[in-house]
Amino acid sequence: MFIVQSYTLAVIMCVITMLCWGSWANTQKLASKSWRFQLFYWDYAIGIVILSLILALTLGSHGAAGRGFIADLNQAAASSIGLALLGGVIFNVANILLVAAIDIAGMAVAFPIGIGLALVIGVIANYIPGVSGNPYVLFTGVASVTLAIILDAIAYKRMSAGADKSKLVKGIVISLIAGVLMGFFYRFVAESMSFNFSLPEAGKMTPYSAVFVFSLGIFLSNFVFNTLVSKFPFSGEPVKITDYITKGTVKLHLIGIVGGIIWGLGMSFSILAAEKASASISYGLGQGATLVAALWGVFIWREFRSAPKGTNKILAFMFLCYVIGLALIIAAKLI
């Protein structure tokens, strides 16, 4: 199977992860004009499964190093499979909440608050079990990202002055809950894997198998959690599941699947990079997606166009804090 051999390549793959994780939500924004997010999310989950299976049967099944996908899956212990599935379930709950927050508050708010918080929690959760990197540099970077989260919340509050306060509170609260849950899913997937990809431990999975099982956890749990938010939505009328077939066009379904493929590619690259970069740095750098999503929200979707004077300075400082934080997270492995 294909294995990352250098820290430089691992960082490049983490940057690709950051771009993927920060950009997939554009597909939801495109579809939301005529398609409720609950319906979009079914195709999104399918896209993640499709991408994970394609990579498992190609990069994960060829080459002399490591174990091939099928052989690896066959020898995996029930505990390893269970951990990866649990990671998928936790991620799915968190991501459904994140998509709901995007629907309510927009990308420029939901991502910095939700994913920014997930970065902070995730770096800590993944650092403690497998210490790697300079802790002072790493956590200074995390602190810088934390400041960026606070600044984004301040900017959103300024923009929402005089607006529906219940909507403001709902968007922030849902983003916070999503962030807390999102901070823990990666740890379970990492625990299901052997971090010697060339000579993997018996009973543990290689990255390709772990991501595939993780994607199944997302898809299967969707029948529970997405069904619930369809019947009891955070805003608007309940969503009929039959609308997925009766109202969905080929274009709408493809948009959702592409969104899942984009996110799934980022997840696969992050996991593949984790051996050389460490799980904490790989996850933390990938969650720099917050910066990418905020850029999309501010400059493409113009979600802050009605904000009062002075808000742009707060946003500029927010972006600066994110850039500094991400740079420090990368440097933590080198210093």
Overall number of domains in the chain: 1
Is residue 119, in this structure, part of any structural domain at all?
Answer: yes
pLDDT band for position 83 (cuts 50, 70, 90): very high
Domain encompassing residue 52: 7-331
What is the predicted pLDDT for the residue at 103?
80
In whole angstroms, what is the distance from residue 219 CA to residue 61 CA?
23
Identify the sign of the CA torsion 14, 19, 20, 21.
positive
Average pLDDT, the chain: 89
Average of pLDDT values for 183-187?
A: 92
Q: Is 218 left (phi over 0), alpha (psi -120 to 50) or beta?
A: alpha
Average of pLDDT values for 104-122?
A: 79
Is residue 2, in this structure, part of any structural domain at all?
Answer: no
**Interaxial angle between packed helices 165-191 and 116-127, expressed in degrees from 0 to 180 and rounded to the nearest 10:** 30
What number of CA atoms fall less than 13 Å from residue 62's CA on the CB side?
5
pLDDT digit string, tens, across residues 119-174: 888 888 888 766 567 889 988 988 998 888 788 778 877 776 655 667 777 888 89
Is residue 1, in this structure, part of any structural domain at all?
Answer: no
How far out from the chain centre does Cα 242 lie?
28
pLDDT digit string, tens, across residues 39-70: 999 999 999 999 999 999 999 998 888 899 99
CA distances from 13 to 24, 94, 186 (A): 16, 24, 16
**Interaxial angle between packed helices 165-191 and 78-105, expressed in degrees from 0 to 180 and rounded to the nearest 10:** 160
pLDDT digit string, tens, across residues 211-235: 999 999 999 999 999 999 999 998 8
Is residue 267, in this structure, part of any structural domain at all?
Answer: yes
pLDDT digit string, tens, across residues 311-323: 889 989 988 998 8
Higher-confidence position of 215 and 304: 215
Element spanning 321, H or E:
helix 311-331
Instruction: Provide the token pair at 35.
Output: 């398609």
Q: DSSP letter at 235? A: S
Instruction: Provide the token pair at 66.
Output: 């490591």
How far out from the chain centre does Cα 83 lie?
18
pLDDT band for position 106 (cuts 50, 70, 90): confident
